[in-house]
Amino acid sequence: MKKLLGCLVLAGFASGAAGAASSDRWIHIRVDDAGEAKGRVDIQVPVGLVSTLLPALQQSRGHGSIHIDGDSVDLAEIRSYWSAVREAKDGDYVTVRDEDSDVRVAKRGGYFTLTVDDKGGKSRVRMKVPLPLIDAVFDGGNTINFDAVGGALAKAPAGELLAVDDEDSHVRIWIDSEAAPARKDAR
Amino acid sequence: MRSGERLALAVILGLCVLVGGTAGATAYAWHRAGSVRIAIHETGPDGSDFSMRLPGLLVNAAIALCPVPEDAELKAHLAEIAPALREVASRLATLPDVVFVDVENDAGTVRVEKSGADLVIRVVSPDERVEIAVPVESVRRLMRKFEA
C-alpha cells in the first residue's frame, strides 16, 4: 500500500513538472527581407521571460513609464476610442473599400482584428490581438504600463498576432506552445 | 600481519580514499561548472586565431570574490534590474536547447542560443568569426551577486 502511495505521489510530481515545463509558451518574431537585400531576423523567447523582463524595462526607464509625446499620437484620444470600442458589441467597426485597398477593423470573439489588403496584391496585413493585451497597453496614464502588458502577454492564448507581407519584407509575430528549431537555410 | 603494519595500511588506505574522494569531487565540480570559451578567428591571409577557455569553477570563484564597484548610480541601476535579470538567468537554466536570436544579413550573422548548460553567442562576418560561450550557472551567480 505504501509503495502504491509512493508511486502515486511520484507520478503526481512528475506530471506536475511536465505540465509546468510545457505550459511555458513562446513568443516568436520573424522578419524576412523580400527585396534585393536578403536578410532575416528570428527571435523567440518564452512568454514568461518577457513578462519578467518588461517590468524591469519599465523601472530602468525611470518613474515606471515611457512617455509617448509624438505630435500625431494622442494616447488619451486613442484610449477614449478604445474604451468606446471595448464597451461596444462585437462587429465590424471600420470597413473601407477604395481603389487602392480594402481595410477592415473589427472586434470579435475576444480579439481586435485589423485586415488590410492591397488591391494590387503587393501588401497584406493581418493583426489579431487579444483584447486584454490592448487593455493593458492603455492601462497607464500617458504611458505604457509594461507591468500590465507583461501580465496580459502571459495570459494571451497561442496564435498569430501579426502578419505583414509587402514588397520589402514579411513580418510575423505569433505565440506558440514550443520553441521553433533554427531555420535550415541559416548559415 | 602485525598491528603496526595494519595501522600503516589503514592510514595509507584512508589517505587514498581521502585523495581519491577529493579528486573526484573536484573533477565533478570542475565538470559541472563548465567553462567560459572565447574564440576569435580572423579570416584572410593575415588573419589570426585567438582562443581562450577558462574553467567555470575559476569564473564562479572570481564572481564570488570580486567586489561590485562602489558606484552609487551603478548600484541603484543594478538594484532595479538585477532581480529581473536573476529571474531570467534562473529560467534560462530550465529551458531546452534553443536559438533565441538569429539575425542574418549581408554583413553577417548573429546568433544567441542556449546549448546544453551554456549561453552561446556567435557572430560571423566576412572578416571574422567570434564565439563566446558562458555557463548559464555563471550568469546566474553574477546576477545574484549584483542583486546582493
Report yes or no: A21 at the B interface, CB cutoff 8 Å. Answer: yes
The domains of chain A are located at: 26-176
Report residue A76 as a C-alpha cell. 488619451
pLDDT by residue (tens digit) across B3-33? 888 889 999 999 999 999 988 888 887 777 7
Determine contact: A84 vs chain B, CB below 8 A. no
- Is the ipTM higher than 0.85? The answer is no
pLDDT at A61: 54
Query: What average pLDDT does the structure give for chain B?
Result: 87
Cell of B146: 549584483
- Measured between CB atoms, which of A24, A45, A186 is closest to B102? A186
| Residue ranges per structural domain of chain B | 1-33, 34-147
Question: Smallest CA–CA separation between A43 and chain B, in Å?
Answer: 5
Report the C-alpha gap between B83 and A39 in whole angstroms: 35
Residues paired with residue B121 on neighbouring β-strands, in sequence order: B112, B132
Residues A126-174 have pLDDT tens digits of 999 999 988 888 876 666 777 788 888 888 889 999 999 988 889 999 9
Confidence of residue A186 (pLDDT cuts 50, 70, 90): low
Q: Which of A160, A74, A120, A46 is nearest to B114 (CA)?
A: A46
Q: Which of A108-117, B22-31, B36-45, B49-58 has the lowest mean pLDDT?
A: B22-31
A20-42: per-residue pLDDT in tens? Answer: 333 578 999 999 988 777 789 99
Residue B26 half-sphere exposure, CB side, CA atoms within 13 Å?
A: 8
Determine the Cα–Cα distance for residues B77 and A180; give it in Å rounded to an integer: 34
Helix or strand run (H / E) with residue B111: strand B108-115
| Distance to chain B for A145, nearest Cα, Å | 16
pLDDT class of A114 with cuts at 50, 70, 90: very high
